[in-house]
Amino acid sequence: MGAYCDENLSFSPACNLSPSHDLRLSKHVHDNVHGNIYLDPLSLKFIDTEQFQRLRELKQLGLAHLVYPGAVHSRFEHSLGVYWLAGEAMQKLKTYQGLELGIDRFDVQAVKVAGLLHDVGHGPFSHLFEREFLPKVLNSFKWAHEQMSADLIDHIVDVHHIDVESEMIKRVKEMVLASSEFALPKSAKEKQFLYDIVANGRNGIDVDKFDYIVRDSRACGLGCSFDFHRLMETMRVLGDEICYRAKDYLSIHKLFATRADLYRTVYTHSKVKAVELMIVDALLKANSYLEISSSIQDPSEYWKLDDTIIKTIETAPDEELRESRDLILRIRRRNLYQFCNEYSVPKDQLEHFKDVTAQDIACSQKNGGVLLQEDDIAVSNVRIDLTRGRQNPLESINFFKDYESQEKFPIPHERISHLLPTSYQDMIVRVYSKKPELVAAVSEAFENFQLKIYGVKAQVHATPEKKKRRF
């Protein structure tokens, strides 16, 4: 992402800009996904702060670039992309239903700013920070980046004296929190469809996914057959909810299926997870000395935390960080935790599945041979779904027949193509050996665990002999 540039702005109608974009008051960046992104004055006030610029130091895909070298894009460019798509979505609704829905400039601006700031509270290394690291140090206290985003929005406004209506900031924070983990605010009694655009807690279709699915696929060199433009052109508000044409249900399914493919091939790639497990261990060993987790409730300190924490650990001479430094050095030299094997949890076991732990595997070894310790083993429990757990995401979406229709309806399961999956969630258990010489022992214990739990080996392939002898 380059610096802002306004010297090449064109004021011709060929720019296809909506009336809400005043080029005289805008700057633009050229994005490799969406082309020119025009930045309005209020959004620029947030962008030109150290808190927002921090997003340049947060890789969108965390540690995936160590497996997919092109995946070095940041939360900064993703946030600009979501800002742009949020504005485009609002403009389409305003063009076709603006009078009917009472969409005004306040609504458009609020949705755009929510798109811009939805990830401002994200932690280092994508979701690893809040899903893998913090649960191990916070005990029962729950922390979510969405809430930190809301807290940081208040902090930015206060510190930089941004002249913005308090009601708009309230609305922006509600939209940022309107994901599946947070209920729709009670204050949203009207224009609830606005909360479907950035972080859609009703059915998971939002411009956040539109941007990262295309952006991540491109960065990793993968094809992407999902086209969000069709959905944005044809969406319509019925009953205060964004609905889609019934004939587009396969396009919507492709959105969820593409996301699941990215989870399987990129986000949870076995080597990506190996690196993540090592980084979590490094952060845990460094936490008491660096107090990494101490700032998670203080926006004035939290914004200083980003991916460069690894370089801080790696270059520090302190003896207290030696174990963490050694782990990072292993990553640099590609001496990773060794992936031993994996299995998919049987469908009939998914409902009552409990995460498998290193202790479960260590306790499954047979007497004799190498004595495994819990700290010799790392386990990754990988959930891959279509955003709605074990439920079909299409069943939570409302459709309409044609533009003359005033009726919205879900598409029942029996009317959906039989070529689509009948199961909507995979649970994969992976086991890693932290030491190359223990691969054989860990693999055997993992097989014993499966026999104890399921009565059979659930894994598809045996661990290769050459991997067992690799030390």
Contacts of 89 (CB under 8 A, 6+ apart): 111, 197, 207, 232, 235
* Amino acid (1-letter code) at residue 84: W
**Closest alpha carbon to 56 in 124, 143, 133, 149:** 124
Three-state SS letters, the chain = CCCCECCCCCCCHHHCCCCCCCHHHCEEEEECCCEEEEECHHHHHHHCCHHHHHHHHCECCCCHHHCCCCCCCEHHHHHHHHHHHHHHHHHHHHHHHHHHHCCCHHHHHHHHHHHHHCCCCCCCCCCHHHHHHHHHHCCCCCCCHHHHHHHHHHHHHHHHCCCCCHHHHHHHHHHHCCCCCCCCCCCCCCCHHHHHCCCCCCCCCCHHHHHHHHHHHHHCCCCCCCCHHHHHHHCEEECCEEEEEHHHHHHHHHHHHHHHHHHHHHHCCHHHHHHHHHHHHHHHHHHHHHCHHHHCCCHHHHCCCCCCHHHHHHHCCCHHHHHHHHHHHHHHCCCCCEEEEEEECCHHHCCCCCCCCHHHHHCCCCCCCCCCCHHHEEEEEEEEECCCCCCCHHHHCCEECCCCCCCCECCCHHHCCCCCCCCCEEEEEEEEECCHHHHHHHHHHHHHHHHHHHCCCCCCCCCCHHHHCCC
Q: Which of 145, 155, 253, 269 is catalytic?
A: 145
Is 28 one of the annotated active-site residues of the chain?
Answer: no
Contact 61, 126 (CB under 8 A): yes
Q: How crowded is residue 246: how many other Cβ atoms within 10 Å of its Cβ?
A: 17
Q: How crowded is residue 294: how many other Cβ atoms within 10 Å of its Cβ?
A: 13
Backbone CA torsion sign across 247, 253, 259, 261: negative
| Catalytic residue list | 145
